[in-house]
Amino acid sequence: MAIVSGLAPLLYQQPPERGRVVLLYQPAEETGEGARRVLDDPRFAEIRPDFGVGLHNLPGHVEDTIVVRAGTFSCASVGMIIELIGSAAHAAEPEQARSPASALAALLAELPQLSGGEGADFRLCTITHAHLGERSFGATPERAVLGATLRAHTDETLEALRTRAQIMAARYAKRDGLEVEVNFIEAFPATRNDPLLVDLLRASARGAGCEVLDADNPFRWSEDFGHFARAFPCVYFGLGIGVDAPRLHQPDYSFRDETILPGVRVLHRLVHTIAREGERAQQLAASAG
């Protein structure tokens, strides 16, 4: 938000040669719902752009380095919640119960084994939380809940991973005579970069005095910016904040304020570069429908 806010006065002082620039402050990025709601809002039609640009700070990379990648920049992902429902009995008579303990243990062990693959086939299943029964020593558990995040380089591979995970949950539930409910929440499509916009970003970043690094593989984390990238040509990139900086979502994470100005300079130069590339930009918008 600070970087986008810093861009506003520069654009006021030096507006682009053609077109207009929309600065969007979007809520609910971490749940995957914010961008989708923006796109679904009827008022968005009034400001709908031909192109979209976004960035994320990147710990683990040299300060002020621009990290970009044509094609898939970050993974598609979805949260999975598995509920296993059996029936309780006295802890002295476990044979009278239908406990979800064994099925939960099997899923905890085997769901992560769905991970693997390279390139477009990359997939990752990460257990995020689990709960079995209640804190009671007189009864067997009746219910278990397991949460996992599924990730893949492509939307298609993620869909196949979802199916395999559901089949596995159903198999163990059937084995142990349990009911099973599987729900998916916080869905993020893969964030895909348009090749032409990536080229314009590279030139703009170098013109702003920043080093450019092309990532070998998509980042494993997900961005709801991927919803925008489905709707119109986009480029999403990373801005290095330090090789030794605490990683994203770690408790000691801290943004490096000195990165704000380089981020502003790159975005400002990119806006003007896109404006100057009028003919190519129009062709790009037309080809995107």
Contact 83, 77 (CB under 8 A): no
- What is the per-residue pLDDT for 279? 61
CB 36 within 8 A of CB 223: no
pTM confidence score:
0.85
DSSP 119: G
Count CA atoms closer than 13 A to 231's CA, side-chain side.
19
Q: Where are the domains of the chain?
A: 2-74+190-287, 76-188
pLDDT for residue 262 = 92
Averaged pLDDT, groups of 10, the chain, 289 residues long: 93 89 87 88 93 91 92 96 96 92 98 94 97 92 97 96 98 97 95 94 93 93 92 94 82 86 94 79 57
CATH, range 2-74+190-287: 3.40.630.10
CATH of domain 76-188: 3.30.70.360
